[in-house]
Structure 1
């Protein structure tokens, strides 16, 4: 009788083991999607809570775009006027020797970059953790208030009635970096997006936000140039006054009007993690070091490391090259605040047009052909990254070898436009491999890494430019040109996953595809990477073990 019961239990379990589709769908999918299901439930609850509020109060991509535009506008209105004010301040002390003025400005700018980079690197991780614990909106408000104070102090240090001191100028120019810099701002923006959008829509949402960023970066210098030329009230100081007003509006909007998109339970969990001692300054970096899969594969870790390397190199070339390029244009072509503003506007508007008008159609075409895999690097991601880096290399080569005429600068700006797709693609791809409940720390870790790189590279380029400006000013471009070549080479090591469930589809095994690969995060943060045959064998082993346990229990009974 006992043998009959044992045989029936064993055959029943083994019969289930022979159905790998059902087992994988019920076990692995439940395990790897548990965090996502909870995250989805939280998004739905927040949406229901704020569905009856107005546009300003309801968490949405629209109000986030408005806030990001205001914060970026406040920064860009100050950029070119500060260069002119600094040049005027240095010129008085150095008797307006063009070469000496360039060398002094390069020294001040590089020192400011170093100090700002140190502050940004030190605070990028804590800002990400603070965002998870206190909420995205409150962090936006604190960042804006710090920028407001920084812009005001920097204007005072460059005023004609203020004493001339390089140390004072460097210190006041670095106060705004206490907010974590632009990278912490973008990290908090991406965390806001992760709170309100589904995973399959985050790349498009990040592209929209980056287009708003680039458009504002393009329009900001134009507005600044127009404000400088206004009769009676115009001048290099007036755009800075307007920037202070914009910062005040952004701070009021984020602290008093906007509602928090992050669920209260998610914030409570982050606070518990911090109180238990699991949180530290370098903790966000650990989120980027992905664990091995259950089969011991290091592919997720290698993919994330390669993506971070490309992100760092891209950042060095684009953001790190900016200050030195502006100084180069002011020396080679005698550009001043107005011309520099037009160049920055052309660059920003070009990138915004690519992200808003061209990129959606290209992405739709590529996704219809190759599909989208929401948990791994796919073919669309690789193509976007590789194409962006190739155009970046072409623009740098043109500027290095053909810089006799100022029209080259605008051709260079046009070639930089397609590169706008690189950063949001990398950010959205990296977050595929991170735990969904710790997106703020993941983005904070990337911001920390970016800040550490920006601590060195912009200052290095400014130093190189200061050394070569008297002999061959364009020689500093050889450094980013070599970096761009390295980035293109690294991009060919990215391997897109060609198997696994596509976006919006159930598991491939559930569809009866025997060679598909199931891939996703588990409860402990590791990754599952098993073929159906391996899963079936594992299920049979579990069934046999359960049958043996039942047999022993029956014998004891």
Structure 2
């Protein structure tokens, strides 16, 4: 539900892959079974520890919203938070109204007693909000904080600023860190990105413990996102993993390895919120999940150091480093004047937008060379609609906040909700969608060319001796056919996915109780097929122009994902939520529905190349018409 498309194989530079493939072939040759087996073992080691990274990233998704709420409430509404009776260290962060925490300390779960013994406990006994709630004598101040308009506005503002900082910095630094991994190794990039995630965990812990003593109050939480944006965080971690796989696997096995890695990532993302809720339940401590996340991130970094060898040789890194310094020296020589230098720096600042030129409309070819063809806007229209849907991804944190305030959910309950949605998405993508594709995809075939087959072995011998074939009897082969896939099916699948999203978002916005809200939330998982289906359509439109740089295209798609889901989406929905949270907080769902409807309307203006929707296709177009979406779906079975 949260994972942006920053964590996809398409984000790797194809030119980088080509360079790696040439060098990797020397280290993992086709005929060297020993080297191949060793490389496979290294990849398996990396994949085996990947769940630590994805679970650690998702285990704190729900608690972060509640921490934002409690910290903002302590500043803006101390009368609700009752700071006069609470300790300065915000003990309410360490005691949540769960079944475990309402028990007497003598019969609390062992894990809760262990965490209490290690310092994750109340610093004051003046007031215990959990016991008060359990006795029914005092209203739950968490529910009051979450539903207070002033607090909700402050949390929305904080969330928007955090998303903007992270997204903007990540857009600027992602390319540099990708190049850095070439010069200094994938392993080092993995460790640095994991340390930035660890800084974020520690930032939450420190802000919760010492919010009255740190500068800026809850704005101190910006340190974590800034570190995440500067050092890459999860995005660079996944790019380094994908680059490692590209370095150590053959081209024939690479697609399957990428698919398996993404499967592990999304599985961890689906299980993480549930693990976090269970951990909160058994510890009775909200802040405990941040300790858990920090431990998992630390373990992942240790395992990378101890178990995963570097995929690039020293010679390869030296070559990449020399090339980088050579390009840097040329650029420095060109920067002679101050104005030119400023323009060059400005160009570098927005260099991450350069890949988007592949989506510009081009003139279609026609039979009359004297007449200019019309511009083909289909690819441009598709990517705009694609960006609209990814803007909705930027609204998720505000929808979490909405659920907390509307239904009185705490972090544990929100974690269960996210687990249900993530599990529904995993089941749909892995089991249901492949079956739907196999049942309903059109059975489109092409005729293969006929080949004359010699009647016996003497014919081939005669041909080898350059003898005449005229006297040799040949048997014509039967016409053969090959099944291909029409991209029109992908386009229809994307439209149906958007229709399901419209129904789901509308239902969530209209739900008055938590049960229908959860049901429609699970229904939203059925729209998960939009991304890969639309990417298949984009690939078809791109290759129909005669372009073959698929990696370049998919990298540009990744840029659109990052900009829309991490910058435009959070800023737009954050501003809307801040302005409407007092009178009509459901407005974000109305905007989500409107955004998806706009994307659906745009897809209706897409015109696929001839041969992609008809019953026949030319043999030379088969490779370009193969749907990458179907390949991904087939690999998930």
Superposition TM-score, scaled by structure 1 size = 0.70
By how many angstroms is 1:408 displaced? 2.3
Give the match for residue 177 of structure 1: 229
What do the CA deviations read for 1:338-389 (whole angstroms, capped 9, x no partner)?
Answer: 111011111111111122222333445567734799x999335324433322
Seen in structure 2, the aligned counterparts of structure 1 residues 35 and 76 have a Cα distance that, compared at 3 Å, is closer
Seen in structure 2, the aligned counterparts of structure 1 residues 137 and 389 have a Cα distance that, compared at 3 Å, is farther
Picking from 54, 71, 88, the partner of 1:89 is: 71
Give the match for residue 276 of structure 1: 327
Mapped pair 1:421 → 2:529: yes
By how many angstroms is 1:249 displaced? 2.2
* 8 Å contact kept, 1:121–1:452: yes
What do the CA deviations read for 1:55-90 (whole angstroms, capped 9, x no partner)?
Answer: 651x3xx55654543222111122222222332323
1 CA distance for matches of 2:311 and 2:553? 18
Seen in structure 2, the aligned counterparts of structure 1 residues 519 and 430 have a Cα distance that, compared at 3 Å, is closer
Q: Classify the secondary structure of the residue corresponding to 2:285.
A: coil
By how many angstroms is 1:115 displaced? 1.6
2 CA distance for matches of 1:371 and 1:63? 41
1:226-245 matched pairs, under 5 angstroms: 226-231=278-283, 234-245=284-295
Mapped pair 1:289 → 2:398: no
By how many angstroms is 1:276 displaced? 2.9
By how many angstroms is 1:266 displaced? 10
By how many angstroms is 1:327 displaced? 0.8
Picking from 270, 273, 279, the partner of 1:221 is: 273
By how many angstroms is 1:325 displaced? 0.5
2 CA distance for matches of 1:46 and 1:157? 48
2 CA distance for matches of 1:448 and 1:120? 11
2 CA distance for matches of 1:221 and 1:46? 40
Mapped pair 1:80 → 2:62: yes
Seen in structure 2, the aligned counterparts of structure 1 residues 357 and 52 have a Cα distance that, compared at 3 Å, is same
Picking from 582, 587, 594, the partner of 1:470 is: 582
Seen in structure 2, the aligned counterparts of structure 1 residues 497 and 44 have a Cα distance that, compared at 3 Å, is farther
What do the CA deviations read for 1:385-411 (whole angstroms, capped 9, x no partner)?
Answer: 3332222122112223x2212112212
* 8 Å contact kept, 1:214–1:351: no
Give the match for residue 139 of structure 2: none
2 CA distance for matches of 1:72 and 1:274? 35
1 CA distance for matches of 2:158 and 2:25? 50
Q: Classify the secondary structure of the residue corresponding to 1:53.
A: helix
Name the one with the larger helix percent. 1
By how many angstroms is 1:302 displaced? 4.8
Give the match for residue 85 of structure 2: none
1:369-448 matched pairs, under 5 angstroms: 369-370=443-444, 378-400=487-509, 402-426=510-534, 439=551, 445-448=556-559
* 8 Å contact kept, 1:70–1:246: yes
By how many angstroms is 1:38 displaced? 8.7
In the alignment, structure 1 segments of 5+ residues that lack a partner are 1-33, 501-505, 510-515, 521-557
* 8 Å contact kept, 1:218–1:348: yes
In the alignment, structure 2 segments of 5+ residues that lack a partner are 1-14, 81-144, 332-347, 367-371, 447-481, 626-637
1 CA distance for matches of 2:409 and 2:424? 20
* 8 Å contact kept, 2:172–2:352: no
Seen in structure 2, the aligned counterparts of structure 1 residues 378 and 191 have a Cα distance that, compared at 3 Å, is farther
Seen in structure 2, the aligned counterparts of structure 1 residues 312 and 130 have a Cα distance that, compared at 3 Å, is farther
Give the match for residue 173 of structure 2: 123
Q: Classify the secondary structure of the residue corresponding to 2:586.
A: helix
* 8 Å contact kept, 2:398–2:573: yes
1 CA distance for matches of 2:611 and 2:49? 39
* 8 Å contact kept, 1:377–1:429: no
What do the CA deviations read for 1:213-255 (whole angstroms, capped 9, x no partner)?
Answer: 3332221111111111224xx4112211111111122223344
Seen in structure 2, the aligned counterparts of structure 1 residues 413 and 252 have a Cα distance that, compared at 3 Å, is same
Coordinate RMSD, CA, aligned: 4.4
1:7-18 matched pairs, under 5 angstroms: none
Give the match for residue 51 of structure 1: 36
Give the match for residue 10 of structure 1: none
1 CA distance for matches of 2:239 and 2:292? 26
* 8 Å contact kept, 1:216–1:348: no
By how many angstroms is 1:479 displaced? 1.6
How many residues are matched? 468
* 8 Å contact kept, 1:125–1:445: no
Which has the higher mean CA deviation after the structures are superposed, 106-115 or 478-487? Answer: 106-115
